Amino acid sequence: MILIAGAGPTGLTLAIDLARRGVPHRLVDPGHPSGSRGKGLQPRTLEVLDDLGVIDAVGAAGAPYPPLRAYAGTDVVWEGRMHEPVPPTPAVPYPNVLMVPQWRTERILRDRLAALGGRVDTAGLASFTQDDDGVTAVLTDGTTVRAAYLVGCDGGRSTVRKTLGVPFLGETRDEERMLIGDVQTPDLDRDHWHMWADLETRTPGVGLCPLPGTSDFQFTAPLAPGDDPDLTLATYQRHLAAGSGRDDIRLTGLGWASVYRVNIRMAERFRTGRVLLAGDAAHVHSPAGGQGLNTGVQDAYNLGWKLAAVLSGASPSLLDTYEEERLPVAAGVLGISTALYQKAAEGQADAYKRGEETQQLLLAYPDSPLSSGPSGGTRAPNAPLADGTTLFDAFRGPHFALLAFNTPAPACGPSVRTVQITANPEAEAAYDITGPTLVLVRPDGYRAHTGDPASTTTYLTRLNLR
């Protein structure tokens, strides 16, 4: 059994992945308001959500990011887009970031978990110990749980990480705080992200972003040093008036409310014995670039199939590849979000722009011991197949996929789905195939191995996939 502490997007993703594999697990969380918080779902995360069976629900709940509109008082002084929309292609069916309030993403994931027979237990993790055979945890309701592994998905203040004594390296910028919350107003249109800023320094000020599928706006405003506000509607109204110079925008409701401090930190390691860290428990980001939630979801997506394989008899050393793959990715993504935040803090003219570096489609594991052959460890793109389906259709589910380009496939075990591809120029171009070739795609959508039948058979044998 796997014990998962924390039912945010990371913990829910991991629980869904384990549930669809039939892996016993327990997901515990005492409950916490998430509000709109991490509202941007990047293209690579949308591909993960497609595989998990929730892309339609997410698409219905979300919308493209609205254009930015900057004001000086009541005057519109600038308009622009954070993301330039691009059309989908066969290889990249979800090329644009989607705005979905985090609470809606979590609700969709909870519903999917429930459909798979899972649930969230409303208890927290109080303490745990581990030995060579497993983890013994005590929950806040007094229950004792015995698990083969514990995964800490319990946020930046992680009980799991603190109990392990894993250093959380980086910085907390207490002088850079932000009032944030979900508010309502009838006095602004919902077609723009409304912002007021210091035009001379280009320093961000008050912002009101309409949240799709709701009547809410996400409110943000910088806080002065020493300002420790009460989280009341009157406080938000006061900061809006001070930051915009306007008294004609009425706030009529306040839901989730918080003070955000800029944290830029990463755990020194992601695994200690039978305990692993994922999501904000392993790395916390500035909000710039919308990387935090997305990186956590993909931590879980990387880890789920490996935990399942180890419980089914694979070598426990497979779990070492979780840290080997995800720690460098988290460090790189942390650098991207920090650089974007710094550009905004410095008032650089293009600080609002977001490019392919934030989409997470280019993330790869080329140095992983699981990566073999040309393009090993890179994302496996989509492509149309002759029967009218796509490769993403073939990938969807908990299995490996063996793509046999213009050559017979070797015999494989039940955890591998073989896809025969003959005379398909579009698929061959997507995978840079020039002759008879076999490509093994991991359950998390990355290329594990590319080669001929002999080398592929050797690789399949190595991973016990025959």
Report the relative pairing of strands 275-277 and 149-152 from DSSP bridges: parallel
Phi, psi of 408 (to 5 degrees): -65, 150
Edge-first strand order for the sheet with 217-223 is 75-80, 68-72, 193-198, 203-210, 217-223, 168-184, 253-267, 283-284
Q: What is the DSSP string of 77-99?
A: EEEE-SS------SS-S--S-EE
- Write down the pLDDT at residue 357: 60
- Write down the pLDDT at residue 126: 97
- Write down the pLDDT at residue 336: 52
CB 110 within 8 A of CB 97: no
> What is the number of other CB atoms lying within 10 angstroms of the CB of residue 408?
11
273: left (phi over 0), alpha (psi -120 to 50) or beta: left
Q: What is the DSSP string of 380-424?
A: ----B-TTS-BHHHHH-SSSEEEEEESSPPPP--TTEEEEEE-S-
Three-state SS at 150: strand
- Write down the pLDDT at residue 32: 79
String of b and e for 355-386 (b: at least 16 CB within 10 Å)? eebbbbbebbbeebebbbbebbbbbbbbbbbe
Please, which residues have CB within 8 angstroms of residue 429's CB and are 6 or more apart in sequence? none
pTM of the model: 0.93
- Write down the pLDDT at residue 226: 84
CB 11 within 8 A of CB 29: yes
Query: Minimal CA–CA distance to 81: which of 99, 94, 104?
Result: 99
Three-state SS at 224: coil
Residue 455, CB-side half-sphere exposure with 13 Å CA sphere: 14
CB 116 within 8 A of CB 128: no
- Write down the pLDDT at residue 346: 45
> What is the number of other CB atoms lying within 10 angstroms of the CB of residue 417?
16
Three-state SS at 212: coil
Query: Minimal CA–CA distance to 62: which of 32, 99, 90?
Result: 99
Query: Minimal CA–CA distance to 51: which of 20, 27, 82, 24?
Result: 20
Domains and CATH numbers, the chain: 2-65+96-170+264-358 (3.50.50.60), 173-262 (3.30.70.2450), 391-462 (3.40.30.10)
Angle of helix 43-51 versus helix 292-311 axis, rounded to 10: 40
Q: What is the mean pLDDT of each run of 10 residues along the chain (466 residues)?
A: 97 98 97 88 96 98 95 92 90 95 97 98 97 97 97 96 94 82 97 86 84 96 90 97 96 95 88 97 73 90 98 95 92 61 45 53 92 96 96 97 96 95 96 95 98 95 89
> What is the number of other CB atoms lying within 10 angstroms of the CB of residue 147?
21
Query: Minimal CA–CA distance to 295: which of 303, 121, 125, 120?
Result: 303
**Measured over all CA atoms, what is the biggest interatomic distance in the chain, rounded to whole angstroms?**
73
